[in-house]
């Protein structure tokens, strides 16, 4: 990105689409629902909502503003801004840990993207038609137990990602999300409607919004914060890189609000679509990463027009996953391109192959390597946990602290277009609430 002349987004709309393209993905539908189910429901959801607002919003704005100031890739931006404000170049390590996180996340993200592709095909050929919950569960278990199939779909997903990046059609993809994202929302609404008709919608509502605070512990809080970072694509320098393309005329706070509301709405809708199916069929909410794959096909398999709706849903989910995956590959490619003698194409291939190899290790952890454990977690869980609960919060913390101590207050106030009073509030959030929140959650989560 940084080697191109720094063209700017033609409009605020273009920027919102790009940022939403990165944010909206498997995190909203696959990860949000399974984490909610696994963490006991409402307490997790409410902490997650608090994290998105109190931590996510300020960090998103901070990343964009740093990027807009620096006009370079995250590593060089941090280094330059730090030195020009009389601080150490060591701040650039934040950029490096962000790139590492993006690399690790893409490896397992691609495996799940592969599941989504596989379910797209399954919908086309009617695999789920008329099946009961046992049969749908068995279909999923068969996929997990079949390393060759997982490998094939993971590879297919990575090939799509590389193909899109190499052909430079990511802009076209963003334009397409203008239509496809609303379509995804419509399908989710249909599923929510189906859930309402199932007679178990009330249970789902209670599960998601009526907290049993007893269930809340440090682990749940840390999981909720990790989800907030993951879903908003924070703590990886990705939003920072996007910020470097952002025109001076774009209002950062209102744009962040738009992106966050969209991302959050999609996650909540996904939950309201999935949990009624869980309760109506006596399934377990704590099923884990397979949750959407053992619930949604059940609904599609048994509703009128379900074949076509299921096909559309998994296609749109795959599309959303692709736009997010592309944004994850970009920082890795860019870093290689700028730090080695590799060309753009060479960097893309090397990054993708490295990601693919790690993804293979992740997919093997569902079968032949299921007892290979790191800190008690299989490879997949380890990659997911280490990135969302450790790397992202720490990198995001670094970005917000950097923002507060390295950028001039009055300048920031003008740039955010806030009057003195609102700025005081903002400052409270950015300087104290967000960083202390991350630190407290992080420490209690680890203990
Ligand atoms: N935010 C994306 C999602 O919710 C995942 C992602 C994480 C994308 C980090 C880019 C960077 O699916
Ligand atoms: Na998201």
Cα distance between residue 122 and residue 297, in whole Å: 9
Taking the centre of ligand 2 as the mean of its atom positions, its distance from the CA of residue 380, in whole angstroms, is 19
Whether ligand 1 lies within 6 angstroms of the CB of 110 is answered as no
Hey, is 399 helix, strand or coil?
helix
CB 104 less than 6 A from any atom of ligand 1? no
* 109 in Cβ contact with 281 (< 8 Å): no
Closest ligand 1 atom to residue 321 Cα is 12
- pLDDT score recorded for residue 4: 42
**Residues 297 and 119: beta-carbon distance below 8 Å:** yes
Confirm or reject: Cβ of 229 under 6 Å from ligand 1.
Answer: no
For ligand 1, atom 10, which residue shows the shortest CA distance?
Answer: 233
67-113 pLDDT, tens digit per residue, is 888 887 788 888 888 888 888 888 888 888 999 999 999 999 999 99
State the average pLDDT over residues 134-162: 97
Decide whether any atom of ligand 1 lies within 6 Å of the 105 Cβ: yes
ipTM of the complex: 0.98
**Cβ 328 under 6 angstroms from ligand 1:** yes
> With a 6 A CB cut-off, is 117 part of the ligand 1 pocket?
no
Query: Is residue 310 predicted with pLDDT exceeding 50?
Result: yes
Q: Which residues contact 404 (CB under 8 A, 6 or more apart)?
A: 430, 431, 435
What percent of the residues of the chain are helix, what percent strand, and what percent coil, each to the nearest 5?
A: 80, 0, 20
Q: How crowded is the C-beta side of 434, counted as CA atoms within 13 Å?
A: 32
Q: Whose CA is nearest to atom 9 of ligand 1?
A: 233
pLDDT digits (tens, 9 = 90+) for 350-398: 999 999 999 999 999 999 999 999 999 999 999 999 999 999 999 999 9
* Residue 12: pLDDT band with limits 50, 70, 90: confident
This prediction has a pTM of: 0.95
Number of the ligand closest to the Cα of 229:
1
Residue 427 has pLDDT above 60, yes or no: yes
Res. 157: pLDDT tops 90 = yes
Q: Which atom of ligand 1 is nearest to the CA of 392?
A: 9
Half-sphere exposure of 383 (CA within 13 A, CB side): 24
In eight-state DSSP terms, residue 91 is G
Sequence-ordered list of residues with C-beta below 8 angstroms from that of 224, at least 6 positions apart, any chain: 35, 39, 44, 45, 47, 48, 51
More confident residue, 143 or 339: 143
The string of pLDDT tens digits covering residues 195-220 is: 999 899 999 999 999 999 988 999 99
What is the arithmetic mean of pLDDT over 429-443? Answer: 95
Using CA atoms, how far apart are residues 323 and 79, in angstroms rounded to an integer? 28
Place of tokens 């700028």: 338
| Terminal alpha carbon distance of the chain | 40
pLDDT over 90 percentage in the chain:
75
More confident residue, 91 or 133: 133
Return phi, psi of residue 7, to 5°. Answer: -65, 155
Asked if residue 240 has its Cβ within 6 Å of ligand 1, the reply is: no
Is there an atom of ligand 1 within 6 Å of 120 CB?
no
Taking only the tens place, the pLDDT of each residue in 409-419 is: 888 899 999 99
| Contacts of 431 by beta carbon, 8 Å cutoff, 6+ apart | 404
The H helix count followed by the E strand count for the chain is: 22, 2
d(CA 327, ligand 2 centre) in Å: 12
Q: Are 272 and 265 in contact (CB under 8 A)?
A: no
Domain boundaries, the chain: 12-446
Instruction: Reply yes or no on whether the pLDDT at 408 is more than 90.
Output: no
Given this model, what pLDDT does residue 10 score?
60
Structure tokens at 25: 């993905």
Place of tokens 């996510």: 56
Return the closest-CA partner of residue 241 out of 102, 433, 341.
Answer: 102
Q: With CA atoms as reference, report the closest residue to 377 among 367, 385, 387.
A: 385
Q: Which residue has the tokens 């030195």?
A: 83
198 burial type by CB count under 10 A (0-12 exposed, 13-18 middle, 19+ buried): middle
Is residue 194 within 8 Å of 274, Cβ to Cβ?
A: no
Is residue 7 predicted with pLDDT exceeding 60?
Answer: no
Which residues neighbour 105 within 8 Å (Cβ) at sequence distance 6 or greater?
Answer: 230, 236, 328, 383, 387
* Burial class of residue 268 in the structure, from the number of CB atoms within 10 Å of its CB (0-12 exposed, 13-18 middle, 19+ buried): buried
In sequence order, the 6+-apart residues with CB closer than 8 A to the CB of 406 are 81, 82, 85, 87, 91
Please check whether the domain covering 12-446 is classified as CATH 2.60.40.
no
Q: Is 281 helix (H, G, I), strand (E, B) or coil?
A: coil
């Amino acid at each position: 990105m940084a080697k191109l002349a720094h063209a700017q987004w033609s409009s605020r709309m273009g920027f919102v689409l790009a940022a939403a393209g990165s944010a909206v993905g498997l995190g909203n539908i696959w990860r949000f629902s399974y984490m909610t189910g696994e963490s006991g429901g409402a307490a997790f959801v409410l902490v997650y909502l608090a994290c998105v607002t109190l931590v996510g919003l300020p960090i998103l704005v901070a990343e964009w503003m740093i990027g807009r100031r620096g006009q370079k890739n995250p590593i060089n931006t941090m280094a330059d801004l730090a030195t020009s404000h009389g601080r150490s170049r060591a701040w650039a390590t934040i950029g490096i840990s962000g790139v590492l996180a993006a690399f690790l996340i893409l490896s397992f993200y691609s495996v799940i993207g592969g599941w989504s592709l596989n379910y797209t095909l399954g919908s086309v050929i009617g695999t789920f038609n008329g099946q009961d919950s046992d049969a749908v569960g068995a279909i999923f278990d068969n996929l997990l137990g079949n390393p060759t199939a997982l490998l094939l779909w993971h590879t297919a997903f990575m090939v799509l990602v590389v193909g899109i990046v190499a052909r430079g059609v990511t802009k076209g993809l963003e334009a397409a999300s203008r239509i496809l994202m609303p379509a995804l929302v419509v399908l989710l609404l249909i599923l929510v409607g189906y859930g309402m008709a199932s007679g178990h919608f009330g249970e789902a509502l209670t599960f998601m919004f009526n907290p049993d605070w007893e269930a809340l512990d440090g682990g749940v809080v840390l999981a909720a914060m990790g989800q907030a970072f993951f879903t908003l694509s924070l703590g990886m320098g990705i939003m920072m890189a996007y910020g470097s393309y952002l025109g001076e005329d774009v209002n950062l706070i209102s744009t962040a609000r738009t992106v966050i509301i969209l991302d959050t709405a999609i996650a909540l809708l996904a939950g309201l679509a999935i949990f009624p199916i869980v309760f109506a069929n006596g399934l377990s909410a704590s099923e884990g990463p397979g949750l959407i794959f053992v619930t949604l096909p059940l609904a599609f398999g048994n509703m009128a027009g379900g074949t076509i709706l299921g096909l559309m849903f998994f296609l749109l989910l795959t599309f959303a996953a692709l736009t997010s995956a592309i944004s994850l590959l970009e920082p890795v490619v860019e870093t290689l391109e700028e730090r080695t003698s590799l060309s753009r194409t060479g960097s893309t291939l090397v990054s993708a192959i490295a990601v693919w190899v790690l993804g293979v290790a992740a997919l093997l952890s569902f079968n032949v390597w299921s007892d290979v454990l790191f800190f008690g977690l299989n490879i997949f869980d380890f990659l997911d946990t280490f990135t969302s609960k450790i790397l992202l919060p720490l990198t995001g913390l670094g970005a917000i602290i950097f923002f507060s101590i390295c950028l001039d207050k009055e300048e920031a106030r003008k740039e955010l277009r806030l009057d003195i009073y609102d700025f005081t509030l903002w400052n409270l959030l950015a300087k104290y609430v967000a960083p202390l929140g991350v630190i407290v959650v992080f420490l209690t989560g680890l203990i």
